[in-house]
Chain A
Amino acid sequence: MSIRERLSGNEATAYAMKQINPDVVAAFPITPSTEIPQYFSTYVANGQVDTEFVAVESEHSAMSACIGAEAAGARAMTATSANGLEYMWEMVQIASSSRLPIVMGLVNRAISGPLNIHCDHTDAMSVRDAGWIMLFSENNQEAYDNMLMAHRIAEHKDVMLPLMVCQDGFITSHAIEAIQLEEDEKVKAFVGEYHPEHYLLDRDNPIAVGPMDLQPYLTEHKKQQAVAMANAKQVILDVAKEFEDMTGRHYEFFERYQMDDAEFVIVCMNSTAGTVKTVVDELREQGIKAGLLKIRVFRPFPGEEIADALRNAKAVAVLDKVPLVSNVGGPLYEDITSSMFNRGVHVNTINYTYGVGGRDVTADQIKSVYHDLQYTTDMSVPYRFLGLKEGK
């Protein structure tokens, strides 16, 4: 039986980490993820976990410590946000190219400047090609569930890639909501122990980690990384199936909400999906065939499956929670439209930048998007702003 509780997204993440009981946690505080290492350090101080907690002096060192620990053969975790992730950016790439299955909680926040501590997805999108598996979470429950599944995916022998679990800063990280938790023993059995095939402290089978890799082999090694990322797709589904058997909670690459006959579809990630669902319900009562496709797995990108799911729509809006300053669409839009093109799916698809720097995302804004989808045929302006103040 699951345990009925009420926790914030940060509390839920820290609680999952306690149940996972990793060998090493190395972290440096940054809003809005600070509470994760804060709560976790309390578990350490109380002797509720066996973890070595490394209170490093920066995020660069946090990721470096995780890399060292994982290379040695340990299970290592961290958490960060925004500029913290930017500061560890160099090591984020080293972690994935060294094939070290570190797991990180990323509490999404705008990147300075100007200084802003609130939610958007600029931090996550800055590492979208860094070779990490990226899972997104609508609420505290999904942040918890994704964290429980994380090691099973990352540490799978066909994958061996680091993984980050994203959730919206403040909107879910600091909101208390109801949640179903699993018992410690069940989680322990589900997550299992980590026995890496190769590690530095295995003196009978010496290896090098992070050596120079020049013209002869870098291309092949990068190809191997790409294959591992592709392999992650099946592993993600397999782990989700096992997780569903344990908890009854169902996960795929993405959630289809009222998609069977949907004509007008919004695609988005994280907390906004909940707001979209309430709007979909309202529009359905009015006879409008609205639907939602909520992305859970952003890397590896399930482009073919997404394109197929959108094939029968009349119009699609992709919501990117990042500022558009590139003169092309946002990252989610570009990935989706190129997948649609490759798959021969030709549906008018527009792109909104929204919710930047914590701008509240209201049900009225979401309604206006469905309205645009119903009545706009002008595709000469595919890149738009949602909730922009008049005249700005």
Chain B
Amino acid sequence: MKDLIEIRWHGRGGQGAKTASLLLADAAFNTGKFIQGFPEYGPERMGAPITAYNRISVNPIRIHSNIYEPDFVVVVDDTLLSSVDVTAGLKKEGAIVINTTKTIDELKPLLKGYEGRVFAIDARAVSEEALGKYFPNTPMLASIVKVSEVMSEEDFIKDMEGSFKHKFAKKPEVIEGNMKALTLALEQVKQLQ
């Protein structure tokens, strides 16, 4: 991992992009890193486009501004591709990770000539198989961990198990499904050529 990794999340209100960015910050913190996880609140409501950010660094983080030249971008909902400039400033050495079933030929015109790597995951299929419901943020979280290599998959899984036990202390029945969503996503996220 580089000394500083910057990640930008694009989602829709209610899909859990903000929660996913906070969980990623949590997990990276537990591997000893300095972290920031913050949402950009707008006139936010269910379904409206939202942005969230992560900085993960080996050094203390002092800057307090949004991220304009991210190393990685996560798109939680591919309907955003036509309305939001998701690749704006995205470094070509980095990558974009999209929740989609589209092919690379279908995606290309939507990515405004982005030259870096493009990864796809069908987070709907993963979520519905693992949880029986559509919560795209858990598979997207696992996907960005894998693509960005901010931590090992092993550390990530171990840490998330602890987080879910804490987060879902009152509904332990959902822990197994969420863990399954993570492991399925780690297997299924693929680079599109």
| Chains A and B come from one and the same complex | yes
Residues of chain A at the chain B interface (Cβ within 8 Å): 6, 117-118, 139, 168, 170-172, 174-178, 271-272, 274-275, 277-278, 360-363
Q: Name B25's contact: one of A6, A118, A271, A278 (CB within 8 Å).
A: A6
- The B1-32 residues at the A interface (CB cut-off 8 A) are 22, 25-26, 29
Alpha-carbon gap, A61 to B25, bound state (A): 38
With contact pairs A176-B35, A178-B29 given, residues A274 and B62 touching in the complex (Cβ less than 8 Å): yes
Chain B nearest CB, measured from A43 CB (Å) = 17
A176 touching B26, Cβ below 8 Å: yes
**Which residue on A lies nearest to B60, using beta carbons?**
A178
Q: For B37, what are the chain A residues with a Cβ–Cβ distance below 8 Å?
A: 175-176
Asked if B39 is at the interface (CB within 8 A of a chain A CB), the reply is: yes
Alpha-carbon gap, A360 to B68, bound state (A): 11
What are the 3 A-B residue pairs with the smallest beta carbon separation, nearest first?
A175-B38, A274-B62, A271-B64
A360 touching B65, Cβ below 8 Å: yes
A176 touching B62, Cβ below 8 Å: no
A6 touching B26, Cβ below 8 Å: yes
B38 touching A174, Cβ below 8 Å: yes
Q: For A362, what are the chain B residues with a Cβ–Cβ distance below 8 Å?
A: 65-66, 68
- Chain B, interface size category, equals 10 to 19
17 pairs, CB–CB < 8 Å, chain A vs chain B: A6-B25, A6-B26, A118-B41, A139-B64, A168-B64, A170-B38, A172-B64, A174-B38, A175-B37, A176-B22, A176-B36, A177-B34, A275-B63, A278-B63, A361-B64, A361-B65, A362-B66
Asked if B192 is at the interface (CB within 8 A of a chain A CB), the reply is: no
Alpha-carbon gap, A162 to B41, bound state (A): 32
Chain A nearest CB, measured from B61 CB (Å) = 7
**Which residue on B lies nearest to A117, using beta carbons?**
B41
Q: Name A275's contact: one of B22, B26, B29, B64 (CB within 8 Å).
A: B64
With contact pairs A274-B64, A361-B65, A363-B63 given, residues A174 and B25 touching in the complex (Cβ less than 8 Å): no
A360 touching B60, Cβ below 8 Å: no
Alpha-carbon gap, A170 to B64, bound state (A): 11
Chain A nearest CB, measured from B156 CB (Å) = 16
Q: For B34, what are the chain A residues with a Cβ–Cβ distance below 8 Å?
A: 177-178
Chain A nearest CB, measured from B167 CB (Å) = 14
Chain A nearest CB, measured from B43 CB (Å) = 9
Q: Name B41's contact: one of A174, A277, A361 (CB within 8 Å).
A: A174
Chain B nearest CB, measured from A207 CB (Å) = 46
Chain A nearest CB, measured from B52 CB (Å) = 10
Q: For A177, what are the chain B residues with a Cβ–Cβ distance below 8 Å?
A: 34-36, 61
With contact pairs A6-B29, A176-B26, A178-B29 given, residues A275 and B65 touching in the complex (Cβ less than 8 Å): yes
**Which residue on B lies nearest to A279, using beta carbons?**
B63
Chain B nearest CB, measured from A373 CB (Å) = 20
- The B48-87 residues at the A interface (CB cut-off 8 A) are 60-66, 68
Chain B nearest CB, measured from A254 CB (Å) = 16
Alpha-carbon gap, A174 to B61, bound state (A): 16
Q: Name B64's contact: one of A6, A117, A272 (CB within 8 Å).
A: A272
Q: For A117, what are the chain B residues with a Cβ–Cβ distance below 8 Å?
A: 41
